[in-house]
Amino acid sequence: MQSRISLITLGVADLPRARAFYQALGFRERPESQESVAFLQLDSGALLSLYGRAALAEDAGLPDDGGGFPRFSLAHNVASPAEVDALLSEAVAAGATLVKAGQQVFWGGYSGYFADPDGFLWEVAHNPFLDLTGVSA
pLDDT in tens, 89-107: 999 999 999 999 999 998 8
pTM score, whole prediction: 0.80
pLDDT digits (tens, 9 = 90+) for 73-88: 788 989 999 999 999 9
pLDDT at residue 137, as a whole number? 46
Structural domains of the chain ordered from first start: 1-70 (3.10.180.10), 71-137 (3.10.180.10)
pLDDT of residue 66: 67
Q: Which residue has the higher pLDDT, 89 or 61?
A: 89
- Could you read off the pLDDT of 23-50 as tens digits, one per residue? 999 999 999 999 999 999 998 888 999 9
Angle at which helices 15-24 and 81-94 pack, to 10 degrees? 140
Q: What's the pLDDT at 130?
A: 80
* End-to-end CA separation in angstroms for the chain: 23
Phi-psi region of 13 (alpha: psi -120 to 50; beta: other; left: phi over 0): alpha
